[in-house]
Structure 1
Amino acid sequence: MPSSILPDSLLSYRFLSHLAANASGTAAAFVVRRPDRRRDGYVSALHLFDGTAERRVLSHLASPLYAWEDDTHLLAHLTAPTRRGGASAVTELYRVDLSGGGRELAVTLPVPLEEFNVLADGQLLCSALLAPSDLDQLFNGAPQKNAVAERPSANGYARFEGIPFYADGRGFLHNRTRRLFLFNRRQGTATPISPQDFIVEAYAADRAGRAVYFCGQRDSGVRKISDTLWRYDLKDGALERLYHGNLDIRRIYPLGDAAIIAATDRAAYGHGQSDDFFLLRGGQLRPLAQPGFMTHNTVSSDCRLTSGVPREVEYNGRIYFPAVRGYQSHLFSLGADGSLEDHLTFAGSIDALARLNDRWVAIGLRDLLRQEIYALDGVAPANANATARSGGEALPQTVRLTHLNAGGVRGERAVVPAHLNFACGSPDGARQTVDGWVLPPADGEAGKKYPAILTIHGGPRAVYGAVFSHEMQYWAHHGYYVLYCNPRGSDGKDDAFADIRGGFGDDDYQDILRFVDLALQAHPGIDAARIGVTGSSYGGFMTNWIVCHTDRFRAAAAQNSISNWVSLAGTSDIGYHFIPDQTGARPLLPNVEKAWAQSPLRYAGNIRTPLLFLHSEHDYRCPPEQAYQLFTALKLGGQETRFILFNNESHELSRNGRPKNRIARLRTLTEWFDAHLKESA
C-alpha cells in the first residue's frame, strides 16, 4: 500500500528558484531550498546544471542572492561561519570559482541588498531598501560599520510620513524606499543611480553595459500607481527622464539599442488590466503589442517558495517569457517589430526560464510532480510556421532533466484530478469556460460516500491548474474529495473574464456554486451534506461571503481573509488604491456604501455555518483586523467559531511560512473539517 501524503511530508520537499545561465549559455545556476525542522526555516544551496547533470556547488547561502561574474565565476551571498543561523544587516558576497578554485570574500556592503547584478565593467548594480539616514553613510566612502541606522521603533515608537507605511513580507518601512546604486569593487565606493526622493518599482540594465533603465515615482507621501521612466548612462552618469504619464510600468526589457516596456494605463479594467507592450527607442515611447492577457505566470501552488513571475530571457533579438492561457503556462516571445509568438504549451507551470546549450530549460511543475528542471525542446523560431503561432502543440517535447524531488515520501502516489468545465457569459458578451477539478479520495471505494472540501484560490486574478498541491493531495489521502475551480475573476482568459470590479460575490459566487453542483453530478461519491469550504486572501473573502449567503456547507475555514472592504482600504499595504478600484467605490469616502455592500461583515447575522479563522500576525496585505471583526460579530451572535493566529507570519504563510507553522496550519484546518465533516461528527 503506497504511503500517504501527510502534513509533515513538506519537510522532504525541495523548492527550486532563481534559474540563470552564464553569458555563453554553457551552464546555469539555480537555488534549491529545503525545509529544516531544527531551525524552523529553509536551508538554501546553489546548484549548477550543464544541461545533462546537476551538482551542488554551495551548501549554505544566506539568501538566494547570486549573480554570474563570468562563465566560471559567480558572486553569492554566503552565510559567514560566525553568523550561520543568525540575521545580519551586512551583505557579504563571496567570489566562487566553479572550476574548483574555492571561494573568497569579494564584497562587503553595509546594507541588506534586495538584488544585485554584475555589469559588463565588473561594477555591481544593487537595489536596497534605504532610509534617508542610511544614504550619507552608504555613499560616502563605503564605511565599514553597519549603515542601517537605528530605527525609531528601537526607541519604542514608529514615525510614519507616507503611505504605505508597511509592506507585506517586509514589515514597517520606517520611511525606507527602494534605491538603486552602483558599487565599484576596485574603489570600494557606492554611487547612487536613482534620485534620493524616488521610489524604484522596476529596473533593468542592458547586456552591453551602456545603460540602466528604471521606473517608479517621486516620494510624495502617497505612493502613486503611475510611473516615470528614467535612463542612467553608465559611461558618463547622465540621468535622462524618458517618460512621465499615467502608465503603470511593470517590467522593462532592454533589447539592443531599445527597450520593451510592459505597462498598462488601467483605463478599461482598472488595476487588474493586462499589460500592453511599448517600444522605447530614441527617447520615444510608442505602442508595440496588445496581448490582452497577463504576461506572467499566475498558476497557484504551495510547492514553490517564490512568486510566479520568472525573469524574461533575451534571445536572437526577442524577449521570451511565460504566460498563462487557460490554466497552463505557455512560452511566448515578443520582437521589437511587435510580433507576438506563442511557441509552446507547458502542461503545468513554468516557474523560471533560461537558455542553456541552445536549448530552453525551465523550472516547472507538471505531471503531478514537484519542481524539477525540464527541457523545452522543439520550440520553433519566431514566424516559423502556423503551428508555432497557434500554440505549438505539434512541436514541443518536454523532457524532465532533474530528479531533485524524487526522494520525497516513499511510495508516494499522487491522486490524479478529474477536469470539469462549463460555459458562462462575460461582461463583453463572449462565452467563456470555467475550468475546475475534482480530486477523489486516494483509497476511495465505489459505492461509498465521502466528505469534500471546496478550496478557493486567492487573487482573484490567479488560476488553479492540474499541478501538484501538497494541501490538496494530503486531503485526498485523508479521505476527502477536493474541489477547486477558476470562476470569473480568475486569470487565464481575457480581461473581461477577470473583471469583477464592483461585483465581488456576484458572478464569481454563482460560478463556484455551479461548479459544486457539477462536481456532485459527475462524482456521486461526494456526500452533498458533508462539504466544507476554505480559501485564503480572496479565497478567504469568498469563504466568508459564501457562509453569509448559503447554509449548504457544513463547515468553513477563512484564511487571511477579508470581511470589511471599508476598513481594509486603510489597513492593507495596498488598500488605499486597490480597494476603491476593486469594489468600484472610487473615491472611497463618498462611496462607502458600495464597498460595504460587498463586505461579508454586513451580512454576519446570516451566518449559521461553523467558521474557523486562520490568520497571520504580520499579514499586512489582509491584516488580522479583518478576521477580528467577523469573529467578534459571530461570538456576539452566539455562533460556533474559532480563531487561530500564527505569530510572525505574513500573508504568504501557506506558501513560504516557517515549516512548523505551515504544518500546524494544515493540521488545524484538517482537524476542523474532520470534526464537522467526518461520519463521526
Structure 2
Amino acid sequence: MNHSRSLTALALMLFATSLPAPALSAPAESANPLFSGRDLFNLSAASDAQISPDGRTVAYVRRSADIMTDKIRSSIWLINIGSGEQRPIAAGTGDHFSPRWSPDGGRLAYVSTGEGGSPQLFVHWMDSGQSVRVTGLPDSPQGISWSPDGRRIAYLMSVPDEGSKLGAAPEKPEGAQWAKPLEILDKVTYRTDDAGYLKPGFDKIFMVDANGGAPRQLTFGAYHDGVPEWMPDGRAILFSAIRKPDWEMTVLDSEIYRLDLDTGDVAALTSRNGPDAAPVASPDGRSIAYLGYNDHKKGFEQADLYVMDANGANPRLVAPNLDRGINQISWSADGRAIIAGYEEDGSVTVSRIGLDGSVRSLTHEAADPGYDRPYGGGSFSVAKNGTIAFTTSPFNRPTDVAISTGGTKRQLTQLNDLSLGAKNLGSLRSFVATAPDGGRVPSWLLLPPTYKEGQRVPVILEIHGGPYAAYGPHFSTDYQQYAAAGYAVLYTNPRGSTGYGQGFADGIEKTYPASNFDDLMAAVDAAIASGVADPDNLFVTGGSGGGILTAWIVGKTNRFKAAASQKPVTNWASMSLTSDGAPFYGPYWMGSLPWENYQAYWSRSPLSLMANVKTPTLVVVGGSDYRTPVSEAEQLYSALKLQRVPTALVKVPDASHGGIASRPSQSAAKASAIIAWFDRYRKK
C-alpha cells in the first residue's frame, strides 16, 4: 500500500466535507474516435529485441506510460516464437532494460532499478525462472557483454575522479550551515544534453562473475573507453576509444583496441585518421569486422564496413559499392558474411553482406521506438540459425517485435491494437517532389482522418532535425494529433538527410540551413499541386535542425500563416560555444571557429534574417536543453518581440533536447500549444 497516497486522499476527503458539492460534468456519451493527447498514456512500444541463440525466443523491452507518475516505464518480456506466447520476466517497480542472452541461451542478463538506487546488473535463469542481482554498483552498467564460456559479464561504468582543485574554503565550524562548495570545471565537454553537468570521471571496462561477486576493473587511465566485445577464446576484449593526449579535442579519431586479460596490456589495432568503432570478432577469432571512415572534416560521413586480421593487419573495405552508412554489424554463424543494418529510404535495412562484397537484403522495415515524430533508425539481433529479430513501425502503430527468416517477415506482437484499433487515424501518402535543380525530395503527406478526396486542407510542413537524420513512414503522436485537429502534415527528407547515399548528405555541406530552403519549398509546391494543400493555409514547424529551418524559412518567405520553431539554433556563434558539442561544430559544420570567420557564422544564422520576418512565430524549447541551449530560443523570442512580430515562448520544464517529449503530459501539451497557435491564424 502507498501510505503517502492514502494519507493524501484522506486529507482531500476531509477537506471536501467542508465545501459545497462540486458540479459534476456529464459523462461522455461515446469514446473519442480521434487521437488525442490523452491517448499517449495508452500506448506501448517495443524496443531492443534480442533473439536467443537457438532462435526460439525473443526478449524485448516494452515501454509503457504510467499515468500516475507521467513517466515511461520499461519492462522485459519474452516471446515464444513458435506459439506466440508472451510473459514478463522483469516488471513491476523500477525500470528494466538491456536484456542480453548468455551464449548457451540458458540465462538472460539485464539492468534494473527494481531494488531502488542506481541501476544494477541482474541474471535470470530460464529453467528455474529465478533472477539474481550480481552487482552492487554506484553507477549504471552499460554495454553488458557475456564471455564466450558464459562465466563472466563485461560492462562499461563511469569511475569517479577527484577533478581539479583550486584553493579551499575556510574550515567550517561544527554545525554551521554553509553554501555549497565551488564547482570547478576544466573539461572541454563539461555538460551533455542527456546527463547535464558532468561529474569528474571516466568510463571504464569492468568484469564480474555471472554468479555474482566483486567486479574487477580492466581498463585504466584518463580516457573514456568504449563498450566491450569479447574475442571468441575469452582471453581478450575489443573496444573503441580515443586514447590520445589531446583526446578532448580529438572529435572523430577513435581507434580499436585489444585488451589482453592475462596481462592487462592494451594495444591499438587501427591507426588511420578517422573514427574506427563497433569491433566484432568472427566466430573463429581470426578476423575482426568494424565500422569507420577516413575523416575529411565534413558535417557528415557515412560509416563503411571493414574487416581486418585479429592482430590489426590487412584492413580492407567490404562492399565498397554499398553507398549507405552502416550503423550496426554482427557476424553470421558460419563466419562467411556480416549482418549489417543501415538507414535507407526512411527506415533501416538489414542485409547479409558477404566477404566478397555481395549484399542480400533480409528486411527493409526495422524502426526505432520513437513516439512524437517519425524518425528512421532501428536495430536488430541475429540467432545462430540466421533468424533476425527487430522492431517495426508502420505509420499507424508504434513499434512492435518482428522476425525475418529467409527474407520473410513475421510480426510477433500487436501491442497497440486494443488502444488504437477503435481510433480513426490519419492516412499516409508518399510522393517525390522535384527541386528547382532537378534533385529528388522524398516526401509524405499524413491526411486528416476526416479527409475527403478532392478536398483542400490546411497543411503543416514539419521538418526533421539532425540535420543528418531522416524521417520515414512511421508512427508519430505529434502528427496524429495535428491530423485529428484537421491539418495534413507534410514531411520530407531534403538533402542532407541520411539513408540516400553520401552525395545526398553532402548536399548541405557547409551551406546549411540555406541549402535546404528550395527542397522544402518544392515539397510544399508539390503538396499544393496534388490538390491536398490549401495554399492560403500553410504552416511550418520542426525541432532542432527543423527549428533552425523554421526560423530561417520565416526570414525568407511570408507564405506561411504561422510558424513554431522548436529548440532552434538561431546564432551559430553563440550555439557553437554553449552546446555540448563545442569541439565539433566549428571544424566540421562551419569550417572555422567563430573568431576566425564570424561572417560565415552570421550569414547562416536565422537571426541575420530577423528584419524580414512577418510570420507569427511560436518559440518552443526544453528548460534543460544543452544541445541547442535555451539561450538560442530566447534570442529568437527577443528578436521577434523587438520586431513586433506576434510570438510567445513555450518552455518545457526540466526537459532536455532529446527528452522534450519523454514525459507524456508534456508531449501532449506541447503539441496542443502548437495546434492552438496555428488555429489562431488558420483561415476558416
User: If the length of structure 1 is used for normalisation, what is the TM-score?
Assistant: 0.85
**2:267 paired with 1:240:** yes
Q: Secondary structure at the match of 2:215?
A: strand
* Residues 348 and 465, structure 1, Cα contact 8 Å, conserved in 2: no
Unaligned 5+ runs, structure 2: 1-30, 164-177, 369-377
**1:409-437 Cα distance to aligned partner (Å, 9 max, x none):** 351233222222134588xxxx6521101
**1:44-74 Cα distance to aligned partner (Å, 9 max, x none):** 1111122132222221353413332342322
1:191 CA displacement? 3.0
Comparing 512-521 and 220-229, the one that deviates more: 220-229
Question: 339, 345, 351: which is aligned to 2:357?
Answer: 339
**2:105 paired with 1:71:** yes
* Residues 616 and 649, structure 1, Cα contact 8 Å, conserved in 2: yes
**1:563-592 Cα distance to aligned partner (Å, 9 max, x none):** 011111111111331244223x32443112
Query: Among the aligned pairs, what percent are the same residue?
Result: 24
Structure 2 residue identity aligned to 1:677: R
Q: Which residue of 2 aligns with 1:507?
A: 515
Structure 2 residue identity aligned to 1:57: I
* Residues 365 and 392, structure 2, Cα contact 8 Å, conserved in 1: no
Label 1:358 to 1:292 Cα distance change in 2 as closer, same or farther (>3 A): closer
1:5 CA displacement? 0.9
Q: Which residue of 2 aligns with 1:146?
A: none
* Residues 464 and 485, structure 1, Cα contact 8 Å, conserved in 2: yes
Distance 1:497 1:438 in 2: 22
Q: Secondary structure at the match of 1:361?
A: strand
Comparing 510-519 and 124-133, the one that deviates more: 124-133
Q: Secondary structure at the match of 1:533?
A: strand
Distance 2:227 2:114 in 1: 30
Q: Which residue of 1 aligns with 2:278?
A: 251
Label 1:360 to 1:464 Cα distance change in 2 as closer, same or farther (>3 A): same
Question: 664, 669, 673: which is aligned to 2:678?
Answer: 673
Distance 1:293 1:270 in 2: 16
Structure 1 residue identity aligned to 2:513: G
**2:326 paired with 1:325:** no
**Deviation above 6 Å: which 4+ runs of structure 1?**
none
Q: Which residue of 2 aligns with 1:569?
A: 576
Q: Which residue of 2 aligns with 1:408?
A: 419
* Residues 566 and 592, structure 1, Cα contact 8 Å, conserved in 2: yes
Q: Which residue of 1 aligns with 2:404?
A: 376
* Residues 601 and 630, structure 1, Cα contact 8 Å, conserved in 2: yes
**1:506-537 Cα distance to aligned partner (Å, 9 max, x none):** 331111011101110102x4221211100001
Distance 1:311 1:42 in 2: 29
Q: Secondary structure at the match of 1:278?
A: strand
Aligned pairs (5 A) from 1:365-514: 365-366=393-394, 368-379=396-407, 397-424=408-435, 432-445=439-452, 448-499=455-506, 500-514=508-522
Structure 2 residue identity aligned to 1:498: A
Q: Which residue of 2 aligns with 1:57?
A: 89
Aligned pairs (5 A) from 1:275-286: 275-281=303-309, 282-286=311-315
Structure 2 residue identity aligned to 1:643: L
Q: Which residue of 1 aligns with 2:656?
A: 650
Comparing 6-15 and 405-414, the one that deviates more: 405-414
Label 1:155 to 1:205 Cα distance change in 2 as closer, same or farther (>3 A): farther
Structure 2 residue identity aligned to 1:172: Y
**1:135-161 Cα distance to aligned partner (Å, 9 max, x none):** xxxxxxxxxxxxxxxxxx993543211
Distance 2:261 2:226 in 1: 20
1:164 CA displacement? 1.0
Distance 2:482 2:402 in 1: 28
Comparing 454-463 and 179-188, the one that deviates more: 179-188
Label 1:257 to 1:446 Cα distance change in 2 as closer, same or farther (>3 A): closer
Aligned pairs (5 A) from 1:190-201: 190-201=215-226
Q: Secondary structure at the match of 1:589?
A: coil
- Larger strand share, 1 or 2: 1
Q: Which residue of 2 aligns with 1:391?
A: none
* Residues 264 and 274, structure 1, Cα contact 8 Å, conserved in 2: yes
Distance 2:330 2:632 in 1: 36
**1:117-143 Cα distance to aligned partner (Å, 9 max, x none):** 222342221112232249xxxxxxxxx
Q: Which residue of 2 aligns with 1:315?
A: 333
Q: Which residue of 2 aligns with 1:227?
A: 254
Q: Which residue of 1 aligns with 2:621?
A: 615
Distance 2:53 2:445 in 1: 44
**1:613-671 Cα distance to aligned partner (Å, 9 max, x none):** 1101221111111111111111122221111111211112355x112211111111111
Distance 2:79 2:276 in 1: 33
Distance 1:444 1:283 in 2: 59
Q: Secondary structure at the match of 1:413?
A: coil
**1:203-253 Cα distance to aligned partner (Å, 9 max, x none):** 422344232111222364734121232101234433222223411124222
* Residues 165 and 173, structure 1, Cα contact 8 Å, conserved in 2: yes
Distance 1:377 1:578 in 2: 42
1:100 CA displacement? 4.0
Distance 2:358 2:436 in 1: 27
* Residues 156 and 226, structure 2, Cα contact 8 Å, conserved in 1: no
Aligned pairs (5 A) from 1:95-134: 95-121=123-149, 122-133=151-162
Comparing 226-235 and 38-47, the one that deviates more: 226-235
Structure 1 residue identity aligned to 2:292: A
Distance 1:578 1:614 in 2: 23
Q: Which residue of 2 aligns with 1:301?
A: none
Instruction: Supply the RMSD in Å over aligned alpha carbons.
Output: 2.6
Comparing 48-57 and 563-572, the one that deviates more: 48-57
